[in-house]
Structure 1
Amino acid sequence: VSGVKFTDKITIPQNLSAASVLMKFGSWNATSDEEKLRFIYTQRWIDAFRQPWEAYAEARRTGLTPREGDPIAHFRMPYPPSESQYNQANLNTARLKQGGDEPSVKVWWVPEK
C-alpha cells in the first residue's frame, strides 16, 4: 500500500532468496473473509493461553477452535447444587426457559452452526 517493498524493509539471510521469503509470506495470505477470520480467531485463542476462560469464551462465541475436529461441546456452566436447595421454584422456571441445565445446551448468544 505504501509503495515500499517488503523485502526492502528486512535483511534476508544469505541462504534464502527474496522469492522464497515472499512465497512463504504469500502462503499465509487468506483467500476468503471466513479464512481471514479463522486466522484472527486462532491468534486470539492462542493469545488467551494464560486466560483459559477468555479462550473458552472466544471459541464458544465464534464456534471455531484452532484444531480440526475439536468442536465446543460445553456452552454453559450448570447451576450450582445450592441453587436447587435455596431457589428451587425460580431454578425450575429458568431451566424450562433455557431448554435445560446441561452443558450442551447453547446459551442465547451462541450462533447456531
Structure 2
Amino acid sequence: MQEVISSFAKDLFAGKRVQLMTAAEVWFLRAEAAMRNWDGAGTAQANYEKGIEVSFAQHGTSGGFATYRDDAVSKPAAYTDPKNAANNIAAGNPNLSTITVKWDDAATDARKLERIITQKWIAVFPDGQEAWAEFRRTGYPKLFPVMINNSGGKISTTDFVRRVNFVQTEYETNPAGVQKAMTLLGGPDNGGTRVWWDKP
C-alpha cells in the first residue's frame, strides 16, 4: 500500500512545488510562542517583524516592508456597501479592528495576538484552509458579521462556520465510522459544532 501511495504522490506532484508551510508562517508561530512566554522562542516583536519581512519577500514586495512594519497610524477602514447600506460597517463598530501594524509591546496579550494573527492571515494567502483554522483557533482577525444567516440557527452569526459536515458518501459507505465520529464530536453533524481543538 505504501508503494502505491508513494507512486501516486510522485505522479501528482511531479515537477510541481507544493507549499505546506511558509517561512513567514513559522515566524508568526514563533511570535505567538514568545508572546505566551514559551522558552526559546525569542521575543514576540522580533519574530513578528521578521514574519512581516519574510511575508513581503515571499510575495516579491520587499521594497515596502519597513514602511509597512512601522505604520502606527493606519487602521482597517470602515466599509460602505455600494448596493446595500444594511451591510455597512462604521468606524467604531466592535467587529472592526482598531489595531495598527506596528508592534506595541505595551499592548495587552489579546491585542498582541490580534496583531500576530492578522499579519499571519495575510501571509498565508492563498492558503484559505490554514487561515480558517487560525481564525477558529484564535478568533482573529476580526471579520465582518454575517448579515444573512440561512443555516436555520445551526451556525452562529457571530461564531461563523466551525467545521465542514461529513459528506453523504461517508454516511452511505461508512455509517459506523460516522456514528463514532459524531459521538466523539459531541454535537450534531453541522457547521456550528466545534471540533476538539476549537472548544471555547
Normalised-by-shorter TM-score class: 0.5 to 0.7
Q: Is the 8 A contact 1:45 1:55 kept in 2?
A: yes
- Secondary structure of 1:49's aligned partner: coil
Decide which of 191, 197, 200 is 1:103's aligned counterpart: 191
Q: Is the 8 A contact 1:75 1:107 kept in 2?
A: yes
Q: What is the TM-score normalised by the length of structure 1?
A: 0.65
CA, structure 1 residues 68+77, in 2 after alignment: closer, same or farther (shift >3 Å)? Answer: closer
Deviation (angstroms), 1:67 = 3.1
Provide the residue aligned with 2:132 in structure 1. 56
Cα distance between partner residues in 1 of 2:159 and 2:118: 14
Q: How many residue pairs end up in the alignment?
A: 89
| Alignment of 1:41 onto 2:128 | no
Cα distance between partner residues in 2 of 1:54 and 1:96: 26
Gaps of 5+ in 1: 1-23
Deviation (angstroms), 1:45 = 0.7
Cα distance between partner residues in 2 of 1:63 and 1:33: 13
RMSD over equivalenced CA pairs, Å: 2.4
Structure with larger RCO (C-alpha < 8 A, sep 6+): 1
Decide which of 84, 90, 96 is 2:177's aligned counterpart: 90
Provide the residue aligned with 2:34 in structure 1. none
Ranges of 4+ aligned residues in structure 1 off by more than 6 Å: none
Identity among equivalent positions (%) equals 31
Cα distance between partner residues in 1 of 2:137 and 2:109: 18
Q: Is the 8 A contact 1:63 1:111 kept in 2?
A: no
Letter in 2 for 1:108: W
Cα distance between partner residues in 2 of 1:25 and 1:72: 29
Deviation (angstroms), 1:57 = 1.1
Deviation (angstroms), 1:103 = 0.8
Letter in 1 for 2:134: E
Deviation (angstroms), 1:96 = 3.2
Deviation (angstroms), 1:69 = 4.2
Decide which structure has the larger Cα Rg and report it.
1
